[in-house]
Structure 1
């Protein structure tokens, strides 16, 4: 990710414009508070939606994942859900900025409210980068602009339920999360999903995984697949060649 510029409309929250996928995606994000980064790029790279398919994202923020999926996957329909009105407006703006307004939309809503009647069981892919914590006592209180991105008020299970309910039978559920929550994720999805696939994500080759990408199939029954790890950084500095290719949009990420 690189920063292209900083801007603010009169009376609005200051935003800056970041570039993703080697400049193919432009994203306006608040200059303060939570901003999408590497996790959004990895999640988007792992979504292998085909032409004519549909993708739902829970907690889409400013639209970083939706816009990157849209750039990677031609002719895919995109639907985002976001609780924060300002971020939802930015997401809609970013879809337009990336020529995706005709195949993408964002609605305001709460994850815990569950799926709308016309969204339940509709999507080929249901994806998310859920907040990493659901216990406010587990971390120092984040700043106001980061709270929704860090804390899942209704717990991780509410996010897993929404994803699995919005995926069609045979559809994919995909998320990136903390590696130490892997057991909770598998347990939370197993009522409706199976055919799990997991790819650990390590900051360095000699360090434990900090993230996992988990893919499940609604109604799937195949054995779990544990993919080789993705290593993000070299100890000598910079991204690994594999990570750089993914973040630049030159490669996908099988899960």
Structure 2
């Protein structure tokens, strides 16, 4: 697979990405920024792609271990190369598997945090990309409800589940999480101060009963379409987000 070498977090991490097909944008960086794991906690990244969120999290949080799951063999290969290039082989590993038939060593109640940036589009509601890898990364081959169920199964009781998704699918996501989690925070990512949110971060705790909270979120772009200082702090300086 031909690829390009791209730099993230103001050059602090480097990633080989496919020349065509799925290419990471800013969403995995916002996803990883929403996690605040304690030392030695174990994190699972479901649908890890080329490792963007996992590597960004390992960079910001030097005492955690991350496991990535990815179905596409080519993306797994690039993720492993990226982990090695960024010197995280001792703290990140990647498993090539289908979440509908995972290996037996992935046990339920195994991880302190599960983060995920799943395919955004339902198969019957979008025009599929002619590039196979991009189509599989962006279009659901697994129902969103089954995806969420898998994530929660591997999460420890009272563990934290974090997802980034399209804002228009919020109601569906809430249905899938109903009665399974609590202490939920919804954090909109506004493309501009007067524009509707396109992305949302959702963070919630398994097997708890706390109330839902709608956070003020973050405006990503200011004047001249430049990133706001808050967005720059995440995208350039590897700061976390307090939801």
Distance in 2, matches of 1:118 and 1:36, equals 26
Pairs aligned (count): 242
* 1:20 equivalent in alignment to 2:8: yes
* 1:139 matched residue in structure 2: 126
Return the match for 1:227 from 215, 218, 240: 215
3-state secondary structure, aligned to 1:253: coil
Distance across 2 between alignment mates of 1:187 and 1:26? 37
Asked if residue 55 in structure 1 is aligned to residue 43 in structure 2, the reply is yes
Partner of 1:72: 60
Question: How far does residue 235 in structure 1 lie from its aligned partner after superposition?
Answer: 4.1
TM-score normalised per structure 2: 0.95
Q: 1:209 offset after TM fit, Å? A: 0.6
How far is 1:97 from its partner? 1.0
Deviations 1:1-47 (A, max 9, x none): xxxxxxxxxxxx11111111111111111111111111011001111
Higher relative contact order (CA 8 A, sep 6+): 2
Q: TM-score, normalised by structure 1?
A: 0.91
Name the CA shift for 1:250/1:34 in 2 (closer, same or farther; >3 Å): closer
Q: 2:206 aligns with which of 186, 206, 218?
A: 218
Change (3 A) 1:90 1:130: same
Report the CA distance shift for 1:201/1:14 in structure 2 as closer, same or farther (over 3 A): same
**CA distance in 2 between partners of 1:219 and 1:212 (Å):** 22
For 2:103 and 2:115, the matched residues in 1 are separated by: 14
| Aligned residue number for residue 89 of structure 1 | 77
The CA deviation string for residues 171-220 of structure 1, in whole angstroms up to 9 with x for no partner, is 10000000011111121122421111110111111011101000010112
5+ residue gaps, structure 2, are none
Two-structure CA RMSD over aligned residues (Å)? 1.4
Within 5 Å, which residues of 2 pair with 1:101-112?
101-112=89-100
Distance 1:66 1:250, change over 3 A: closer
Give the CA deviation at 1:251.
2.2
Ranges in structure 1 where 5+ consecutive residues have no aligned partner:
1-12
**Structure 1 position 245 matched with structure 2 position 233:** yes
Deviation at 1:163, TM superposition (A): 1.1
User: CA 1:103–1:186 in 2, change beyond 3 Å: closer, same or farther?
Assistant: same
Q: Kindly state the Cα deviation for residue 68 of structure 1 after the two structures are TM-superposed.
A: 0.3
1:236 is displaced (CA, Å) by: 2.1
Measured in 1, the distance between the counterparts of 2:187 and 2:48 equals: 22
1-structure distance, mates of 2:28, 2:45: 11
For residues 89-110 of structure 1, what are the alpha-carbon distances to aligned partners after superposition, in whole Å with 9 as ceiling and x for unaligned? 1111111111110111111111
